[in-house]
Amino acid sequence: MVNSDFFNHDDIKLKFSKSTLNPPNLCFTDEIINEYNETRNFPYLDKTSKIGVFLRFGNISIRKAVKKSDKAIDKTYLKELIWREFFMQILWHYPKTTKTSFKEKYERVKWRNNMEEFKLWCEGKTGYPIVDAGMNELNSTGFMHNRVRMVVASFLCKHLLIDWRLGEKYFSDMLFDYEQSSNVGNWQWVAGCGVDASPYFRIFNPYEQQKKFDKFGTYVKKWLPNGYKEQPIVDHKFARQRCLETYKEAVN
């Protein structure tokens, strides 16, 4: 119980942001919402709203965001907000998921957890351009495009067979828009061990992802250093086969 004599609100000269502020027009325009389904997967377009950080710190009410996005003809953006609330419900009802897989059989996956390779991933030195560009964007800005988040997360869990919890922890340290429920939920989705997760045999091909979503190399050129050398720390075909065998052994 708080002592009212000790904690006097009138003596505190602070101005608090309301949680009912309207979403900032700078990043939450009608154009972004209406075109979200067509543009959201292309990092070079920079067409995501970046509203996550405002929601994270309560500067904007989720109700305001839902109300605005519900007015759009296309409901893709609204569905993304629903995913956010879904992961919050999962964390509330299953708090163990911060430390263990929602699907418990995936706890049997024999992670390699090579810490030298983990360090290279963190530093954007895997030799895969789109992976390294994403990590450089994260390390430089505290933000990473959502499509690229999926690519780098898949690479860590499935190419390197490094425990999703290590990646989740690194993101929690680096992301300005870090929200535990969304972060845990999405890492488990990529690793294949979460509720309604991507199947374990879905392994992102970094080359195909770059070809499809950054075909002119605009994004990777922006975030890769001069003199960057494409020297993969692991062969894609080898890593894919190793991942399939490891997961299959664990869950079957």
Catalytic residues: 80, 83, 111, 146, 164, 187
For residues 57, 59, 63 and 66, what is the CA-based torsion angle, rounded to 10 degrees? -90
User: What is the distance between the terminal CA atoms of the chain, rounded to a whole angstrom?
Assistant: 53
Instruction: For residues 189 and 183, give the distance between their C-alpha atoms in angstroms, rounded to a whole number.
Output: 10
Task: Please tell me the distance from the alpha carbon of residue 242 to that of residue 238, in angstroms, as a whole number.
Answer: 6
Q: How many CB atoms lie within 10 A of CB 104?
A: 10
Q: How many residues does the chain have?
A: 252
Tokens of 204: 């992102």
Alpha-carbon separation of residue 199 from 95, 100, 193, 196, 251 (angstroms): 22, 17, 8, 9, 11
Structure tokens at 206: 């970094």
C-alpha to C-alpha distance for 67 and 70, rounded to whole angstroms:
5
| Phi–psi pair at 66, nearest 5 degrees | -65, -45
